[in-house]
Structure 1
Amino acid sequence: MSFVERCDLNSRERETACEQLLRQVEASGIELIRLGWCDLHGVVRGKTIVASQLRQALANGIGMVSTLLLKDSSDRTAFKVFEQGIEETLPGFAGASNFTLMPDPASWHVLPWTEKTGWLQCQPFFADGRIVPLDSRHVLQQAVQRLTDRGWQMRCGLEVEFHIYRLKDPLHGADLDPDRADWPGPAPEVNLIHPGYNLLTEGWFDRAEEPLRIVQRTAQALGLPLISLEIELGPSQVEAVFDVRDVLTAADHMVLFRNATRQALRRAGYHATFMCRPPFEHIMSSGWHLHQSLCEASTGRNVFMRDAAAPGGALDARQVLSDMGASWLAGLLSHAPALTALCTSTSNGYGRFRPNAMAPQSILWGRDNRGAMLRVIGAPGDNATRIENRLGEPAANPYLYMASQIHAGLDGLDAQLQAPPATETPYSAGAATIPTSLAHAVQALQADAALCQAMGQPFVDYYSTIKKAEHQRMVQAEDATEFHKREYFGRI
C-alpha cells in the first residue's frame, strides 16, 4: 500500500492531477521541485527534490523531522521531546520522530525568480496515515468545515503592509559574515527605498518602482489576485492589496506571497520584511487588514448584506449588516482579547496598538472608521458588504488568523450576540483595550472557553507554550533592539 492510500488521499481526481503534473514537469524541463509546508509562525519550510523523484513523492511523500512543528520563532524546540511524558503532552512527537509531508498536485507553481524550479504545497501526516492535528492549515480546514456544514463559504480580501529595504552589501553583508554567525544570526544592513512620510505620493512610488515591479511580476506570475501596490506612510513601507477569494485560498495566497516576495527581492539586492515594527527609530508599524464576509455556497449571496436598514439609529450595526452579520461582528468583539494572540502573533507586533495611528487601540467597531478594530463597510443592498478586521500584523500565520475569525464569528451567531453601538471616537478613554503584550494575549486565549473548545485544547496548549517561550526570551534579552533584529527583521 502506498502512503497516499494509507492517508486516504487517493482518488480518481488526484490520480489524474498527478499524471498531468508529471507530464507537465517532463515537458517543461523542470529540474528541481520544492516541497513546502507552512509552520506555526507562517514560515515556509520543506525539502527540495530532483524532478525524477516527483512520482515517488506524490505517492509516498517525503520525510520531515517532527520537531519542525515545535520550534519557537528563534528555531529552538520548545518541548523536551527526548524526556519521559512527551507522549502524554504531544502524542506522536517522542524522540523527534518523522512525519511525512504529502504534496498536493493542485498546488503546483513554477517559481518565476529562479531557474527550472517548481513548488508544491504539502501537509504533514503521521506514519499511520493520520493528519497531524497541530498543523495550522488543518486547523483552518476544520474551521472551514464548520461553515460548509451550514452551507456557507467565507470570502477574504487582503491588505498587507510591509517594508522593503535595499541591502547595503548583498554578497558580503553582516548576516553572511561567518565570524558573526549566531542563533539566530545577525540581521542584514540596509538602506531605505523611499524616505516616507508622504503617503501615496507618486514621486515615492517612482523611487521604489524597481523593487515594486519585482513584487508585481512575481505575484502575477504565481497567479495571485494582486489589485494594487501602494506607498504607505512610513519610510520604506509599502502595501499590497489582493482581491477576494475563498478563505483557504486566501490563506494559501498569503503564505505564497510572503515567501515569494522575500526570495525574489533578495536575489535582486533587496530585503523585504513582514515584521510589524522594523528595529529603527523612525518607522511606522505595518498591519494586515483582513476583509471578511460570508456567502451562501449555493447562490453566492452575501450573508452579511442587509436588504434594508433596520429602524435603529445610525450607530446600530443593523443599519449596514444583516442580523447574522451583526452577530458575527459581536462575536469578533467578544473574543477580541483571545483573537489577538492569533492575529498579532509576535512580541514585536504589540507596539502597533497606539492611538491616532490608524491602528486599533480598543475593542470597538466603527462604520468606515480606520481607528476602530473592526471597520464595517457597505450599505443595504451592497453585495460587497463586509467587516474589515484591523487587528492583525503581516507576520501572522494566515491559517490561524482566519480560523480564529470563523470560530469567533460563529460563536457570536450561535449565542445571538448583539453588537454594541459603533464608535465615532475610537481613541477615547473608557473602552476595553487590546492586550498590550503577547503574554497577555496568550493568557486571554487560554481563558477563552469557546475558542479553546473550537480550536481544541491540545492545540491551544501547544500554541501557548511556544508563544510564551518567545515572549520570555524577549523579556530576558539584554538588548531588546538586537532581539527584534535577529528574531524578526532578518527572518520574517
Structure 2
Amino acid sequence: MSPSFAERCGVHDEAREAALGRLAREIDRHGLELVRVVWCDLHGVTRGKTLTARAVVPALRDGVGMVSTLMLKDSGDRTAYKVFEPEGIASLPGFQGASNLMLLGDPTSLRVLPWADGTGWLRGQPWFQDGSPVDLDSRRVLQRALERLAQRGWGFKCGLEVEFHIYRIEDTGAQLDPQRAEWPGLPPEVSMVHPGYNLLTEGWFDMAEEPLRIVQQTAQALELPLTSLEIELGPSQVEAVFEASDALTAADRMVLFRSSVRQALRRAGYHATFMCRPPFPNIMSSGWHLHQSVVDLATGRNLFRRDAPAEGTDPLNARHALSDIGAQWLAGLLAHARGMAVFCTPTANGYGRFRPNALAPQSALWGRDNRGAMLRLVGSCGDAATRIENRIGEPAANPYLYMASQIHAGLDGIERGLAPPPATETPYATADALLPTSLGEALSALQADTDLTAAFGKPFVDYLLQIKRSEQTRLEQAKDPEDWQRREYFSRI
C-alpha cells in the first residue's frame, strides 16, 4: 500500500492514527454532519473547506486541495502576485499557475460550533503536493520562532487582552443587494450596543449584556479560558481577557475566538469588528495588549522573575524588577519596535491609534505599570507573574506573526546583551523613537531592520512586503479613503 499524504508529510504515526479513531467517534457522538477544516491566512482570517462527516477522516489522511492563491491575497482579496506569468511568481516556487496546495487537519483540534447545528471545526495547515511544508504559513513562522527558544530550553507564555467593538445590525439591505455588490462590499448598517464614555460602568454592561452573553457562551463552549468581559471607554467598545498559556496555544485561541465571535454574533443580529478604528466620527481605538514572559520548559519557572533588585538599581532601572534575561528581552523589543510594528499593527487603519494621551503608545518606550508606554512592566521582585505587556498591537493582527516578532526581537536583545534605557514617567513628552504613523512607514521600517528580516527569513519578509504594499497602493489610489476602509476592514474584520 502506498503511503498516505499525511505519511509523506512526515506527520502521521500510530498516535495520529489513534487520534483519527477518536475523532471519528467524537463526530458520531455529537451527531456532526459537517466539519470545517480551517486555516489562518496572512491577515489572521480563517479560510478552509467544509466536509461532510464521512469525508473527514479520509481527508485527514490524504489532504484537501485548496488554491494556492489564497496565500497570496492582500486584505481585499486581490492576488498580489502575477501567478500566470513565470517572472511574476519566480520568487515563490510551488505557486505557479494558481496550483493546488493541500490542507491537512489536526485530528486533536475538534471543536463543536455552538452556533451552527451539527457542525464541527478542525484546525489545518497547508502543505505542498510533494509533502513539504509551506514555510510562508504564518503558524509555521511562529513554530520556527518557538524552536529558536526551545534550543535554549525556553518557552514563551502569553496572555491575551483584546478590545473590539460590537454593533447591533439594523439593516443588511445595502450589504446584500446584488445591484450594489462590489469588491469588497459594504458592511451592514448598525447601531451601538452602549453609548460609551463611561469606563467599566455596570449600567452599560447591563445594556450590552445580550451580545456579551453570546461572547461568553461561545468562548466557553469552545473551551477558551475567558476570565472577564469589560465595558471599554469607547461607544460600543468591549474587552475580553483570557488566561495565559504557551504562545502557540494562545495564538490558536485568538484565531478561533475572533472568527467564532463574529459568526455567533452575526447569527444573533450583531456585527462584531476587530478593526482598530471603526468608521464613525466619535470612537475609541481598540488595542490588543500582549502579556509575555519567557519560561523554563523543564520547570515552568518564569525567567523574567527577579527575587531581589540588582545592586545599585532604582525603580526606573529594568533590572530593579526584571531578571537580566528579562531586561535584555525588553531592550530587544524596544530596539526593534519600528521594524516589528507591521506584525503587531498590520492594517492602515491601526496607525491612527498611536497618538498622545490615548492609552496607546506613541514612542518606543517602557514604563513601570505605565499605560502610556509601549511596554508596560507588570510585577515586582519575587512575583512569579512578572511580565512585559506590549501595547503596540491592534486586535486585527495575525497572532502567529505578532508573537513571532516578540520572540525574534527579544532574543536579539539577549544575544547582543542589550540594556534598556531608564523607564519613562512621561511617555508623551518626547518625540524620540516615534512609532510608525502609517502602514507605508511601517513597511519601510521592517525592510530597514536587517536583523529582524534575517530572523524571519528574507523570503518571508519579501512575501509579506509585496502583499502589504498591494494593500497600501490600493488605499493610496482610493477616491474615498474612508469608504475604502469601511469596505476593506469594517465589513470583513
TM bucket (normalised to shorter chain) is: over 0.9
Distance 1:92 1:415 in 2: 37
* 1:87 Cα deviation after fit: 4.8
* 1:194 Cα deviation after fit: 0.2
Report the counterpart of residue 422 of structure 2 in structure 1. 421
Distance 1:84 1:371 in 2: 49
Report the counterpart of residue 191 of structure 1 in structure 2. 191
Report the counterpart of residue 435 of structure 1 in structure 2. 436
Report the counterpart of residue 182 of structure 2 in structure 1. 182
Report the counterpart of residue 38 of structure 2 in structure 1. 36
Aligned residue runs from structure 1 range 67-466, under 5 A: 67-169=69-171, 172-310=172-310, 311-466=312-467
Number of corresponding residues:
490
SS in 1 for 2:24: helix
Matched-pair contact (CA < 8 Å) for 1:86–1:93: no
Cα-to-partner distance string for 1:417-470 (whole Å, 9 max, x where unaligned): 001000000000242100011111111111111111111100000000111111
Q: Aligned partner of 2:65: which letter?
A: G
* 1:312 Cα deviation after fit: 1.2
* 1:92 Cα deviation after fit: 0.6
Distance 1:115 1:248 in 2: 29
Distance 1:314 1:245 in 2: 28
Cα-to-partner distance string for 1:96-131 (whole Å, 9 max, x where unaligned): 000000000111100011101000000000010001
Report the counterpart of residue 475 of structure 2 in structure 1. 474
Cα-to-partner distance string for 1:113-163 (whole Å, 9 max, x where unaligned): 110100000000001000101000000000011111111111000000000
Q: 1:87/1:487 Cα in 2 relative to 1: closer, same or farther (>3 Å)? A: closer
Matched-pair contact (CA < 8 Å) for 1:194–1:207: yes
Distance 1:124 1:450 in 2: 27
**One of 52, 56, 59 as aligned partner of 1:57:** 59
Distance 2:348 2:224 in 1: 29
Cα-to-partner distance string for 1:169-199 (whole Å, 9 max, x where unaligned): 2xx4321111110000111110000000000
* 1:490 Cα deviation after fit: 0.5
Q: Aligned partner of 1:113: which letter?
A: W
Distance 2:21 2:377 in 1: 46
In the alignment, structure 2 segments of 5+ residues that lack a partner are: none
RMSD: 0.7
Distance 2:344 2:454 in 1: 18
Distance 1:374 1:441 in 2: 18
Distance 2:218 2:364 in 1: 37
SS in 2 for 1:359: coil
* 1:12 Cα deviation after fit: 1.7
SS in 2 for 1:391: strand
SS in 2 for 1:68: helix
SS in 1 for 2:401: helix
Distance 2:315 2:112 in 1: 50
Q: Aligned partner of 2:440: which letter?
A: A
Distance 2:315 2:351 in 1: 32
* 1:300 Cα deviation after fit: 0.9
* 1:27 Cα deviation after fit: 2.6
**Aligned residues with identical type, % of pairs:** 66
Matched-pair contact (CA < 8 Å) for 1:134–1:459: yes
SS in 2 for 1:122: strand
In the alignment, structure 1 segments of 5+ residues that lack a partner are: none
**One of 4, 7, 10 as aligned partner of 2:9:** 7
Distance 1:456 1:437 in 2: 24
Q: Aligned partner of 1:489: which letter?
A: F
SS in 2 for 1:168: strand
The runs of at least 4 consecutive aligned structure 1 residues that moved more than 3 Å come to none
Matched-pair contact (CA < 8 Å) for 2:277–2:286: yes
* 1:88 Cα deviation after fit: 2.5
Distance 2:56 2:477 in 1: 45
Matched-pair contact (CA < 8 Å) for 2:81–2:89: no
The 10-residue stretch of structure 1 (24-33 or 386-395) with the greater mean CA deviation from structure 2: 24-33
Q: Aligned partner of 2:396: which letter?
A: A
Distance 2:44 2:384 in 1: 31
The 10-residue stretch of structure 1 (445-454 or 392-401) with the greater mean CA deviation from structure 2: 445-454
